[in-house]
Amino acid sequence: MNAPSRKFSLSRSIAVVLMLFPIGFLLTAVDGIGMFVNIPALLLTGGFVFLLLLGTFGTDFLKFLPDSILTLFSTPSQPIPRYADIARFGSRYAVAGAAIATFISFIQMLNNLSDPSGIGIAMASALAPILYALVLSEVFFAMLYKVYSDGGEPKDSPPLATRTPAIAMIVLGALVASFVVMLMAHGTFEATPHAYLPMP
């Protein structure tokens, strides 16, 4: 695949650079960036996306990686439908990877409710993949999809339109599950002592 010529995009470059400032400020304002770093969740979510895209698109995906970095700051002279497809599927796979990582974390958390002091850390670990997926899917891949497909043949499902309901369901479900687990860990759902006594 021959790479088309490119034109520097000042507006996109400014947007990409300025996005880093509020994100960096929020990450470091409270307790530092360390509380947002979950290596296992990052490897599972990112690794899931990488391997599925590699398996789906093969060497085209490997060529897409460096080209996508350039596309954050420049615009190809013509649409690249193959790369648009990679970005679209990348958005889908990011949501799937986050869902899998979140469910794994919740299962681990539910198997260890005996120590209420560790529930907060476990809940943060369970929600971290959703944060990673939101950044990867709705910021990185959605932007790339638009740039690579702009002016070309219309696609049937842009990632932002199709993935938003799925992400909303995952986020809502994770928040509800976290709230329930927190209540359980603090004894809110504990039964009264006589609740399970046998009837005379």
| pLDDT-above-70 percentage for the chain | 62
d(CA 45, CA 63) in angstroms, rounded, equals: 21
Calculate the alpha carbon distances from 195 to 113, 181, 192, 199 in Å.
Answer: 21, 21, 5, 10
For residue 49, how many other CB atoms are within 10 A of its CB? 25
End-to-end CA distance of the chain: 80
Residues 22 and 55 reside in one and the same domain: no
Tell me the pLDDT tens digit for each residue of 20-63.
Answer: 776 666 666 656 566 667 788 888 888 889 999 999 999 999 99
Nearest Cα to Cα of residue 125 among 57, 45, 14: 45
Average pLDDT over residues 94-119: 78
Residues 109 and 57 reside in one and the same domain: yes
Q: Is the pLDDT of residue 145 over 80?
A: yes
Question: Is 68 part of a structural domain of the chain?
Answer: yes
Residue for token pair 């702009």: 150
> What is the number of structural domains in the chain?
2
Global confidence as pTM:
0.70
Question: Is 113 part of a structural domain of the chain?
Answer: yes
Nearest Cα to Cα of residue 130 among 104, 164, 95: 95
Calculate the alpha carbon distances from 52 to 26, 56, 117, 129, 156 in Å.
Answer: 31, 6, 37, 17, 21
Residues 74 and 86 reside in one and the same domain: yes
Q: Is the separation of the CB atoms in 106 and 179 below 8 Å?
A: no
Residues 103 and 167 reside in one and the same domain: yes
- Average pLDDT of the chain? 74
The two structure tokens encoding residue 28: 């470091």
Please tell me which residue, 158 or 7, carries the higher pLDDT value: 7
Question: Is 3 part of a structural domain of the chain?
Answer: no
Residues 22 and 99 reside in one and the same domain: no
Residues 124 and 28 reside in one and the same domain: no
Buried (b) or exposed (e) across 69-106, using 16+ Cβ within 10 A? eebbebbbeebbeebbbbbbbbbbbbbbbbbebbbbbb
Residues 68 and 14 reside in one and the same domain: no
Strands (E), 55-149: 74-76
Q: What is the pLDDT of residue 41?
A: 80
Residues 100 and 163 reside in one and the same domain: yes
Calculate the alpha carbon distances from 29 to 5, 22, 24, 37 in Å.
Answer: 41, 10, 8, 15
Which phi and psi angles does 77 have, rounded to 5°? -70, -15
Number of H helices, E strands in the chain: 7, 2
Question: Is 197 part of a structural domain of the chain?
Answer: no
What is the span of the domain harbouring residue 147? Answer: 38-185
Tell me the pLDDT tens digit for each residue of 169-198.
Answer: 666 666 666 666 666 655 544 444 444 445
Residues 138 and 153 reside in one and the same domain: yes
Residues 13 and 58 reside in one and the same domain: no
Question: Is 165 part of a structural domain of the chain?
Answer: yes
Residues 92 and 165 reside in one and the same domain: yes
Residues 52 and 108 reside in one and the same domain: yes
